[in-house]
Amino acid sequence: MLNEAVLLESRSLREGVVARTEVLERVKALSLLPDDIHVTTAMVAAYFEVGVEAVKSLVKDHRDELRANGYRLLTGTELRSFKDLSQIQSRTPSLAIFSRRAVLNVAMLLRDSEVARQVRTYLLDMEYMARTAPVDNSVHSPADSLDDHIDRRITHILGTAVVPMFNALIENSGEHRKELIALRQDIQRVERRLCHHHTRLRRLEGPRKDRPLAGVMAAIDAMNGSEFEEHIAGLLRRDGCTDVVVRGGHGDRGVDITGRTPDGRPVVVQCKRFAPHNSVTSPDVQKFLGAAKVLHKADVALYVATCPFTRDALNISAEGGVTAVHRGLLEAWSAGTALNALG
């Protein structure tokens, strides 16, 4: 239910994560043109291990979205200038090029590719980690992933070029041999520290049995109203509730779901799919409170939202006996944590 397939269906979700191009290199090495920025259609096909026609067909169906993320079809003077700058030897009258963002965009659209599927899974996993990781302003920044990529390139250069160069200098030097040996040791120490840093980072990012499914909220954000109500109904049934009925939009009398807790108490639920930057306000809760307690005489009232609640809304919820299931609590509930109000 909650997996990488949500990216295939939601353009808004794709737009929200398309900047995370570092996942491409972490799934598989991406070969670039000499300009170190772009790739051709054939190179995209090779990366995803599909035929060139599959990529061309995808571009035809999603040309506007890909253009917005760096796809371009070069012809005429623009093509000649690009060939000169990139040192490309080609006699074709046109050339399609993709930026890293466009390649990642392809990964989120390409269905019949195992590599693309892995990229989507990794992408949602990173989105989950970014939202749940502890804040540490002294260490982390938006450039962390780029720094890691640079660290790995530096490590490679140190090991394959710089250290061998010092070995040759030491072998042929007499007067400065001691100083060169000391410098080589310093460089090897930096190389070891970078390798250790990269190993630790990969271990931290690796799969853990205690981590919830990747992209929980990403999947929920991609649902429509009916799908969201059915999702909440499924969570109620999972946690032992009985007589669960989705009533949204059909004589619901101010609630979307009704049922009974595992111990038989009446439960009603209001489901709101608001954008994450919005908030549930006190009038929203007051309206639901009247329907839950007066019309339905419910013992348990849940107001479930995909966004935060204002402070006044939380206060009214607490005073009126409504459980405010905000975005963070919804994520935990969806990932398997039981909701205390149902116990």
Tokens for 307, please give them: 């966004």
Q: Which class in CATH covers the domain with range 223-342?
A: alpha beta
Question: Under 8 Å CB-to-CB from 326, ≥6 apart: which residues?
Answer: 280, 305, 307, 308, 309
Domain ranges, ordered by start, for the chain: 6-132, 144-205, 223-342
Q: What is the DSSP string of 220-247?
A: HHT--HHHHHHHHHHHHHHTT-EEEEE-
Q: Which residue, 119, 130, 101, is CA-closest to 8?
A: 119
Question: Is the four-CA dihedral 118, 226, 15, 126 of positive or negative sign?
Answer: negative
Residue 94 bridge partners (DSSP)? 75
Per-residue confidence (pLDDT) for residue 29, from 0 to 100: 83
Q: Which residue, 220, 225, 218, is CA-closest to 257?
A: 225
Per-residue confidence (pLDDT) for residue 136, from 0 to 100: 45
Per-residue confidence (pLDDT) for residue 274, from 0 to 100: 86
Report DSSP state, residue 322. Answer: E
Per-residue confidence (pLDDT) for residue 149, from 0 to 100: 52
Question: In angstroms, rounded to a whole number, what is the distance separating the alpha carbons of residues 277 and 273?
Answer: 12
Per-residue confidence (pLDDT) for residue 100, from 0 to 100: 92
Which run of H or E residues covers position 258? strand 257-260
Q: Name the residue with tokens 């949602």.
A: 124
Per-residue confidence (pLDDT) for residue 105, from 0 to 100: 95
Q: What is the pTM of this model?
A: 0.42
Q: Cβ distance 108 to 18 under 8 Å?
A: yes
Listed as ranges, residues in the chain with pLDDT below 70 are 1-4, 85-90, 126-164, 166-168, 170-175, 188, 191-192, 194-215, 248-253
Per-residue confidence (pLDDT) for residue 128, from 0 to 100: 61
